[in-house]
Amino acid sequence: MSALLEVRGLSKRFGGLTAVRELDFEVRVGEILGVIGPNGAGKTTTFNVVAGAYRADAGEIRFAGESIAGLPPHRIAARGVMRTFQHNRPFGGMAAIDNVLVGAHTRFRRRLWSIVLGGAREEETRQRERAQELVQFVGLGEAVAADVTTLSFGQGRMLEIARALAGEPRLILLDEPAAGLTPAECTRLADIIRGIAARGIAVLLIEHDMHFLLALAHRVVVLNFGAKIADGLPDEIRAHPAVMDAYLGSHAAHQ
Amino acid sequence: MKSIALGLGAAIALSALAFLLGDYHNDVYRKLLLWIALALSYNFVFGICGQVTFSHFAFYGIGAYAIVILLFTAAFPLPLAIVCGVALCVALALAVAIPATRLEGFYLALATMAFAQLFIVVLNEGGAITGGTGGLASYRLPPVLGLDLSGRAYTVVIVLVLIGTAAVLRRVDHSWFGRACRAVRDNPEAAAAMGVDVARTKVIAFTLSSVLAGIAGMAYAFVDNTVNPPIFGLENAFLVLFMVIVGGSGRHAGAVVGTVLLYLLPFILSPLIGQHHALVFGVLMVTAILLQPRGLIGLYDRLARR
């Protein structure tokens, strides 16, 4: 399988702190790549650099063969890389479905003047139907028209995912999607993520919860103190001494 | 189709009212309709896109002065004068918005306030072109297609300007662009992650709302058949902000309700308490912000839900 996202020699510093150091990894077409590591390992920084929210100090980021390093977030989204946020960031005062439609922003082709002339109805209806399907897909069917501020935390997380999918991504970046969810919601989330991969969308999954991630990812990259300490299949990672050491402390690794 | 029927119905109903009112009340009515048009377009940039600007009334003035100067000093035919007036509003709005959208909140408010003040200075110092402090007067709208558009007929023209403004804003609001504006208002970072070009969205929203204010200004030029600097001062820029906040910012119906209330209030209060009605405005404003930030329309929503 070919690489959809290629990250080579990525470094990001904040003042004197090196958050990410010479990181290499790739996400292949249709796979779920898990990135794991303890708090402060540089997971979210890596994520934000790929999504364009931060600018890399060094390194190369290529998506579908083209460099996306240094592009602003909206350009990266338009190329087919959509993200969710670790802390839900809904657009308040809008219905759930309208939040999802904001995610479809780059999929609209009608220009503003044609909207003013009243010629964009068909496209609006079509996108609204598609957004409706996505809301169903993440299990929020009954909350389609609800104001987002009335959704529960878990529902809000699912909405983030539906919103990112609305942009028809080729790669979706999920930033700790299981954080704060109940066990039942985690099970549903895992099904949804498998469903996303089954649609042919590559998933870059950043997760703090090792059990959740290892059950889901096709391959895993382990970060600690901003550097990669291991990568491989979930089974290899489970057995990797350096991983146990970093994650659970050196004591647990010897048990 | 439904919305076209709705617009047509509203146009007929609002026009019919003109023929029920006397001359004095027609004058009041025309100005009320223009204020509603202004509040609707201001609500788009302020309530929906979340940008606090004070240049809205200046663009109203730019439209008014432009049409008078182009028609009577430059002797342009009416259609060309309208097109050039709109083009001027677009150019000035872009000139303000492109640097100003790099600014956030407070600084954008200051930059647009400076622009509005500069406009008044230009009007006062404009010599024969703007008529200086006295402004321009004693002109009349030439017949359009052989029709004399004065009195009640002109009220109908203003109704059409208002319905047109409302229709444009409604369509834009119910499109990807309207959603992008709300997203930019609520969470610019998340909006950018969804592919929304935040700066571009702000520039377009500002320009659209400023041009609509300019068009309302063109219509205003023939209401009193005079334009002068005091009409377009900052005081009115604040009033349009109050109208939107008291009515309920972000909601078209809120802008309408707030405008009707604040515009008609002085007519009711003046005979009772004279010039002290400004005090009532102030109290109303503070009450709205403290107790009912969603405005009268938010209050209505809450009561209707019970």
In terms of Cβ atoms closer than 10 Å to its own Cβ (0-12, 13-18, 19+), residue B24 is: exposed
Around Cβ B38, how many Cβ atoms within 10 Å? 30
User: Quick one: pLDDT at residue A253?
Assistant: 43
Flag whether residue A91 sits within 8 Å of chain B, measured between CB atoms: yes
Residues B146 and B187 in one domain: yes
Residues B9 and B101 in one domain: yes
CB contact under 8 A, A167 and B190: no
Mutation target for A interface from B41, B176, B302: give the one with most A CBs within 10 A.
B176
- Structural domain range at position B284: 233-306
CB contact under 8 A, B186 and A163: no
Residues B280 and B202 in one domain: no
CA distance A41 to chain B (A): 23
Residues B133 and B213 in one domain: yes
User: Quick one: pLDDT at residue B1?
Assistant: 62
CA dist B246 and B297 (Å) reads 9
Residue that is last in its domain, among B202, B224, B246 = B224
Residue found by looking up tokens 């390093």 in the block: A69
Residues B212 and B253 in one domain: no
User: Quick one: pLDDT at residue B235?
Assistant: 87
Instruction: With H, G, I as helix, E, B as strand and everything else as coil, classify residue B137.
Output: strand
Cα B208 to Cα B3, B88, B91, B97, B211: the distances in Å are 21, 13, 11, 11, 5
Distance of CA A137 to the CA centre of its chain: 17
* A16 or B58, greater pLDDT: B58
CB contact under 8 A, A91 and B171: no
Instruction: With H, G, I as helix, E, B as strand and everything else as coil, classify residue B74.
Output: coil
> Model confidence at B269, in pLDDT bands (50, 70, 90)?
confident
Residues B143 and B121 in one domain: yes
User: Quick one: pLDDT at residue A255?
Assistant: 44
> Model confidence at B3, in pLDDT bands (50, 70, 90)?
confident
CA dist A163 and A166 (Å) reads 5
Residues B45 and B79 in one domain: yes
As a whole number, the mean pLDDT across chain A is 91
Asked if A214 and A234 touch (Cβ cutoff 8 Å), the reply is: yes
Around Cβ B107, how many Cβ atoms within 10 Å? 12
Instruction: With H, G, I as helix, E, B as strand and everything else as coil, classify residue A160.
Output: helix
- Residue-wise pLDDT tens digits, A146-184: 899 899 999 999 999 999 999 999 999 999 999 999 999
CA dist B84 and B214 (Å) reads 11
Backbone angles phi, psi at B219, to 5 degrees: -65, -35
Q: If you measure CA to CA, which chain B residue comes closest to A164?
A: B194
CA dist B294 and A64 (Å) reads 46
Flag whether residue B180 sits within 8 Å of chain A, measured between CB atoms: yes
Strand (E) or helix (H) holding A122: helix A121-137
Residues B76 and B121 in one domain: yes
User: Quick one: pLDDT at residue B105?
Assistant: 67
Look at residue B46 and tell me whether its pLDDT is greater than 90.
Answer: yes
Residues in chain B closer than 8 A to A92 (CB atoms): 186
Residue that is last in its domain, among B198, B224, B250 = B224
Q: List all residues 6 or more positions away from A198 whose beta carbon is below 8 Å from its beta carbon.
A: none
Flag whether residue A147 sits within 8 Å of chain B, measured between CB atoms: no
Residues B252 and B301 in one domain: yes
- Residue-wise pLDDT tens digits, B129-183: 898 888 899 898 888 888 888 888 999 999 999 999 999 999 999 999 999 999 9
Which tokens belong to A175? 């930033």
CA dist A107 and A126 (Å) reads 11
| R_g (Cα) of chain A, nearest Å | 19
Cβ-nearest to B195 among A98, A105, A118: A105
CB contact under 8 A, B193 and A51: yes
Asked if B213 and B57 touch (Cβ cutoff 8 Å), the reply is: yes
Give me the mean pLDDT over the B88-115 stretch.
87
Residue that is last in its domain, among B224, B247, B272 = B224
- Residue-wise pLDDT tens digits, A179-192: 999 999 999 999 99
Residues B82 and B145 in one domain: yes
CA dist B13 and B22 (Å) reads 16
Flag whether residue A51 sits within 8 Å of chain B, measured between CB atoms: yes
Residues B212 and B255 in one domain: no
Asked if B28 and B267 touch (Cβ cutoff 8 Å), the reply is: yes
Domain at A1-80+169-255: CATH code = 3.40.50.300
Residues B133 and B239 in one domain: no
CB contact under 8 A, B193 and A73: yes
CA dist B277 and B269 (Å) reads 6
Domain with CATH 3.40.50.300 in chain A: 1-80+169-255
Give chain B's domain count: 2
